Amino acid sequence: MPLPKAELHLHIEGTLEPELAFELAARNGVTLPYPDTEQLREAYAFDDLQSFLNLYYELMAVLITEQDFEALADAYLTRAAAQGVRHAEIFFDPQAHLARGVSMETVVEGLWRALSRSEETHGVSTRLILCFLRDQSARSALETLAAAKPYLDRITGVGLDSAEVGHPPAKFREVYEQAAALGLRRVAHAGEEGPPEYITEALDVLGVERVDHGLRCVEDPALVARLVRDRTPLTLCPLSNVRLRTVDTLADHPLPAMLEAGLMCTVNSDDPAYFGGYAGDNFDAVRTALGLTDDRLRELARNSFLASFLEDEEELRTRYLAEVEAYVFPA
Ligand code: HPA
Ligand code: ZN
């Protein structure tokens, strides 16, 4: 039995496995620029975030109907459950779909078909987080939030993703103010490829409650002290960092030093179909490469539930935390 955990940094479009991509392409009459799954997988050698994003957006062409989004989410939840994920807070990128003529309704209702029965089917509770693409305009983000208004009963929060450098958090001040006024929770990617100043700005200007990645905080001791003091959760994605060359090898990952410094770290999978593994695979990889103790792994799992947006279901959080404390690691 795997360690129970919450997944807090997961792009649903990044769970599109090559097999499902080809299946949906055939169903929808879409031609992918790769002859088969094997040659598609060969394209998964990335130099940086942008080289990944190019493929990530290209493959989304196969996602057209509600059934496609439902199949995508169902496939993810099946895999996540098998790796001990008990709760998943799932990002989606509506602008990438709206731009292709796929409506907000299709995306949200399709995902919701899978999410609404997930506790029953997979034993995984879920939340949805709408992400704005930071390399698009602030106006486009405002239009996207407006388009999401009929679906806010299905959406817990907003996030910020896509190409980071050159698109600082402050660009999205207004849409985050509106999101806060609508009662939405706020997170943002910051300090993945961008500088530590973007992390500070996400906290100060956007009012985020968690920082996605946040890896480059280690370059600024005053920022680390602040994040430790405030117990601000960081949603780290170790396998993603290796594949996008944010760190050289997993053995060089600063996770152990970050935990030692008292940062509230969590371990997540980001885009598992592209980066070589789901949540449990990330836990296994850091345990092996970084020699994390069972106590540290338990701390990471505990943090994931503490950092989750389960305020409206505290009894569920309490139950998950009890599962973490009761977990017996295999000898
Ligand atoms: N970083 C930024 N944007 C993204 C990512 C990521 O790792 N995955 C999907 N969109
Ligand atoms: Zn991400």
Say how many domains are in the chain: 1
Q: Are 69 and 100 in contact (CB under 8 A)?
A: no
Q: Is residue 204 part of a domain?
A: yes
In a domain, 322, yes or no: no
Q: Give the tens place of pLDDT for each residue, 157-190.
A: 999 999 999 999 999 999 999 999 999 999 999 9
In a domain, 327, yes or no: no
Evaluate the CA torsion angle 56, 5, 305, 183 in order and state its sign.
Answer: positive
110 within domain boundaries: yes
Pocket test for ligand 1, best of 8, 57, 93, 192 (most atoms within 8 A of CB): 192
117 belongs to a structural domain: yes
pLDDT digits (tens, 9 = 90+) for 38-89: 999 999 999 999 999 999 999 999 999 999 999 999 999 999 999 999 999 9
Q: Which of 13, 192, 193, 201 is catalytic?
A: 192
Residue 192: active-site member: yes
d(CA 118, CA 262): 34
Distance 37 CA to ligand 1 centre (A): 22
Residue 323 inside a domain? The answer is no
Ligand nearest to the CA of 56: 1
What domain range is 72 assigned to? 5-308
CATH of the domain at 30: 3.20.20.140
Tell me whether residue 316 is in a domain. Answer: no
Whether 314 is covered by a domain: the verdict is no
Cβ distance 104 to 148 under 8 Å? Answer: yes
Could you say which residues of the chain have pLDDT below 70?
Answer: none
